[in-house]
Structure 1
Amino acid sequence: MRHDESVPPTPRRPKPAAAAALTVLCLGIGLSGCGGESGAQAQPGKGGDPAPSSASASAPASPATPSPASTSPAPSKKPASPAPSTPAAASGPLSGKTVVIDPGHNPDNHLHTSEINRQVDIGTTHKECDTTGTSTNSGYAEARFTLDVSHRLRTLLQAQGAKVVLTYDDDRAFGPCVDERARIGNKAGADAVVSVHADGSAVGNRGFHVILPASVRGGGADTSKIVGPSRDLGTRIAGLFVRATGSAPSNYIGGNTGLDTRKDLGGLNLSTVPKVFIECGNMRDPKDAALLTSAGWRQKAAQGIADGISSYLNG
């Protein structure tokens, strides 16, 4: 917050605002065929193969989810915890690439307030180790949303041959802290890192935005080498997220561009590899919450992020 088995549902055309934003974003990154219908198949060499069914039998099974038509929140019971780091599942356009997925927050952070309130060095200042995240009015936690989308995203990327590492997979009591999240991506030598979130803003504030690292140098932070690549990664994700979901860029952050640059996030400041955050929507707005609690929409969200990552890695 501001702080997998299902095939994507039948495509629908983006809303007018989303379509206009998509045109701007696509022109900015020179993506051919980016203006197609929401959820359309990605072009070879751009979005890769979006169908999760193409994963080999060696890919770990993703947690069972409701049908795409469901709008019920995901169950709060913890799923079985796969290994946080898994090898590439198949040969494909992303073979040899490493992607780190960072599911924002942790469902049990609220049970460990003293630990997550501990201050950590983010290079330019100190901040809390982590936060609890937000939730919908019905109680669907951001941390549950981020894990679900991250699992779907992992399956899509593994189907294209990528090695995927999760910063955590519901396998620890709290955290990781923001500085550790950055170190996991750095240690993996990731070609791209995406931190998955959902916002907690006022009713009427709608849409998604991608957060890019600012130019920061101080203490242990130096983003000079990742600002440019991260902007490319984030811009591609924004454009293809519109196409996959039909959602419009945020109407309250980023001037309707879907992009926001910040220098106060340790997960970005301490990264030495290209990294962005994505706030997929506003959990506190009823209309956005209806999307975020839909399994079908979460599959579309994962597809849009995967397409953006694939487009970036394939150049």
Structure 2
Amino acid sequence: MRAKTLPLLTGILLLTACSGGGGTPPSPAAAPTSSPGSATPGPTSSSPPPPPSSSSASPPSTSAVPPVGSGKVVVLDPGHNGGNAAHPGEINRKVPAGRGQTKPCNTTGTSTNAGYPEHAFTFAVAKEIGNALAAKGIKVVYTRQNDSGVGPCVDERARIGNDANADAVVSIHADGSTSPTAHGFHVAYSAPPLNAAQGEPSLKLARTMRDGIRDDGFATSTYIGSAGLSPRNDLGGLNLSTRPSVLVECGNMRNADEAGQMSSAAGRLRYAQAIAKAIEAYLAGS
């Protein structure tokens, strides 16, 4: 991520920092749950009903069908936090970041040129995603519960996903490229993989996420990764994960068009709906 942190903060890390910048990539919630719809009456008919069947078969079960996401767990990780900037000592503390690296606990994130902060964007989008998933019967766990705290550190964010035995971990971010023409989203995943979950499961999640967001009309990044995918070996949250995990950089907050979308409630809802549908698609096929 470019130009994302205050001068006193250094480093880029994942699940707490955005994915542009440092590191050389390897080669190429719950809103009201929808109530079951009322049964739609069939077409009326003047003909008498057929006589009762003489079959002794048991009548169909009237038990409720389990929600589509029954038993699935998704961890949502909204990047950064609103209190980070006021606590430099805490967020500059070095923590393990995988592959023998250490990095600062967290960063402040970036903002639009008008001052709308990434941490507020990621938290709002994550809550909308969580609402949509919970309505489908999916258990949602968040790495932070508000937008006024500090951290948690990158290693703790990864641990939350691991401890939850998550079927998918999705970190939400926005980039801060200094180029106003740079635009588009990309999906980062850990590569080369450090464990089985970082292999095909994470790659499948990344591809499904990319396809879903792109199919909803969002352009893939013009400046990071290739065709909307970005393999990374330097992002702590991904390196430390033992569950299928990706990080979504929704776009460039320094691009006027994307900043406008991210700053509006309608734009944030659109991002959230695209990501939620992609998560559902991945869960359905996993």
TM-score range, shorter chain: 0.7 to 0.9
* Cα shift readout 1:59-101 (whole Å, capped 9, x = no counterpart): xxxxxxxxxxxxxxxxxxxxxxxxxxxxxxx951111000000
Counterpart in the other structure of 1:55: 34
**Structure 2 partner of 1:196:** 172
| Counterpart mapping for 1:133-212 below 5 A | 133-170=109-146, 173-201=149-177, 202-212=179-189
**What is the distance in 2 between the residues matched to 1:144 and 1:230?**
26
Give identity over the alignment, percent.
50
* Distance across 2 between alignment mates of 1:223 and 1:260: 18
Please name the residue that 2:258 is paired with: 288
Query: Structure 2 vs 1, CA of residues 248 and 189 (structure 1 numbering), >3 Å: closer, same or farther?
Result: same
> Which of 274, 277, 283 lines up with 1:313 in the alignment?
283
Aligned equivalents of 1:280, 1:141: Cα separation in 2: 14
1:281 partner amino acid: G
The CA deviation at 1:171 is: 6.7
Is 2:62 the partner of 1:98? no
Q: Distance in 2 between matches of 1:54 and 1:167?
A: 22
Deviation of 1:172 (Å)? 6.3
Larger Rg: 2
Report the equivalent of 1:10.
none
Separation (CA, whole Å) in 1 of partners of 2:35 and 2:238:
33
Render the CA deviation track for 1:1-41: whole Å, top value 9, x for unaligned: 463xxxxxxxxxxxxxxxxxxxxxxxxxxxxxxxxxxxxxx
> Which of 197, 219, 224 pairs up with 1:248?
219
Residue 96 of structure 1: SS of its match in structure 2?
coil
- Distance between the aligned counterparts of 2:244 and 2:155, measured in 1? 15
- Is 1:232 the counterpart of 2:204 in the alignment? yes
1:215 alignment partner, one of 192, 203, 207: 192
TM-score (norm 2): 0.76
Partner of 1:152, secondary structure, is helix
The unaligned stretches of length 5 or more in structure 1 are: 4-51, 58-89, 217-221
Aligned: 1:258 with 2:228? yes
Gaps of 5+ in 2: 3-11, 13-30, 37-64
Aligned to 1:116: 91
Distance 1:122 1:287 in 2: 33
Q: Secondary structure at the match of 2:173?
A: strand
User: CA 1:224/1:96 → structure 2, altered by over 3 Å: closer, same or farther?
Assistant: closer
Letter in 1 for 2:249: E
Distance of 2:35 and 2:128 partners within structure 1: 15
For residues 242-271 of structure 1, the C-alpha deviation after alignment (integer angstroms, 9 at most, x for no partner) is 222x2200000123x110010101100000
TM value normalised by structure 1: 0.69
Which one of 243, 246, 249 corresponds to residue 273 of structure 1? 243
1:225 aligned counterpart, secondary structure: helix
Deviations 1:127-180 (A, max 9, x none): 010000000011100000000000100000001100000000217631000000
SS in 2 for 1:207: coil
C-alpha separation in 1, matches of 2:80 and 2:195: 23
Give the distance between the partners of 2:124 and 2:181, measured in 1 at CA. 25
Counterparts of 1:228 and 1:177 in 2: how far apart (Å)? 26
Superposition map of 1:36-75 within 5 A: 55=34
Preserved CA contact (<8 Å) 1:210 1:259 = yes
Preserved CA contact (<8 Å) 2:93 2:105: yes
Instruction: State the distance in 2 between where 1:56 and 1:136 align.
Output: 38
- Give the Å deviation of 1:200: 0.3
Q: Secondary structure at the match of 1:277?
A: strand
RMSD, matched Cα: 1.8
Rounded to whole Å, the distance in 1 between the matches of 2:90 and 2:66 is 41
Deviation, structure 1 residue 213: 1.0
- Does structure 1 conserve the Cα–Cα contact (< 8 Å) formed by 2:33 and 2:134? no
Indicate the residue corresponding to 1:299 in structure 2. 269
Does structure 2 retain, via aligned residues, the 8 Å contact 1:149–1:299? yes
Residue in structure 2 matched with residue 66 of structure 1 by the alignment: none
CA drift of 1:289 comes to 0.4
